[in-house]
Structure 1
Amino acid sequence: MRLYKIFKDPMNQYEAVKQGWSWPAFFFWAMWACVKQMWGLGIRILVTFVVLSLLAGQNELLRAINSLLGFSVFLAFGMFGNTLREKNLVKHGYVELPQLINAANPEAAIAQYIAEYGHK
């Protein structure tokens, strides 16, 4: 079971965001950001790493710095990816609901929220 925050938009659409570490954000950072509709973030990060890789070329020191920076970004996405997603939902009109839900997955968290608290 995982802990989820539930968000609702004005059209009564719900989103559940798992609390804590995000493995998908850690492993698939740019693609994950785009899938979660954070297009600007995903594209900026991807372009930045492509440009840095091209600039590093065959320079071992620059390639090492680029790798260290990349790993730091992976860690940051794993640690803060779900928080970034929450902020993006709020930016797009969603409201954070006060109850935290313990569930196996996001769909179960939303169903449990609706069953317990209704369409408030």
Structure 2
Amino acid sequence: MKSFSIYEHPHHGIKAVKQGMSWPAFCFGLLWALYKTMWLLSAIWVAALVLSGLLVPLDSALDTVINGLFLGLQLGVAFKGNSWYEGVLRARGFIFRTTIEGNNPSQALGNYVSSRDASEFSLSTRQISAPDDEDDGPSNLKA
């Protein structure tokens, strides 16, 4: 099983973010960043693509260097992307709730919701009700 960080927002729901390397970030890079609405990372990526296209002619010996730099960029995003995404969520008002196990994000969210519901039920059954005979003041006052 994988570990997921659970973030919750009062208006935008619950998100599960896998801890560790992100294979989708490695394989899809820019598209992954756009899907996760990581605008700064997306802008940096597009700028790097445009600059590499403008600065390096098609038959240049620098192609290998540029390809190596992009591979390094891919690896960096793959290993740091999920933690950067957590930072984006926190900046948007999401609150870290817990870390939970699951095979995928959907299962982790299901595990979180079921454990949260179970704990709320447990708390509600433990509450001690106030006595009904408390005096709220005179009830037969005339206006």
TM-score (norm 1): 0.89
More helix as a share of residues: 1
Instruction: Pick closer, same or farther for the CA change 1:73–1:109 going to 2, 3 Å.
Output: same
Map 1:1-120 to 2 at 5 A.
1-11=1-11, 13-57=13-57, 58-60=59-61, 62-97=62-97, 99-118=98-117
User: Bigger relative contact order, structure 1 or 2, given CA contacts below 8 A and separation 6+?
Assistant: 1
Deviations 1:36-95 (A, max 9, x none): 0112311321231232133111321x2222111101001101111100110010011101
Q: Which has the larger radius of gyration?
A: 2
Distance 1:42 1:13 in 2: 24
Deviations 1:23-48 (A, max 9, x none): 00011111100000112311321231
Moved over 4 A (4+): none
The DSSP-based 3-state class of the residue aligned with 2:29 is helix
The DSSP-based 3-state class of the residue aligned with 2:17 is strand
Instruction: Pick closer, same or farther for the CA change 1:12–1:50 going to 2, 3 Å.
Output: closer
Q: How many residues align?
A: 118
The DSSP-based 3-state class of the residue aligned with 1:59 is coil
Distance 2:12 2:45 in 1: 32
Amino acid at match of 1:36: K
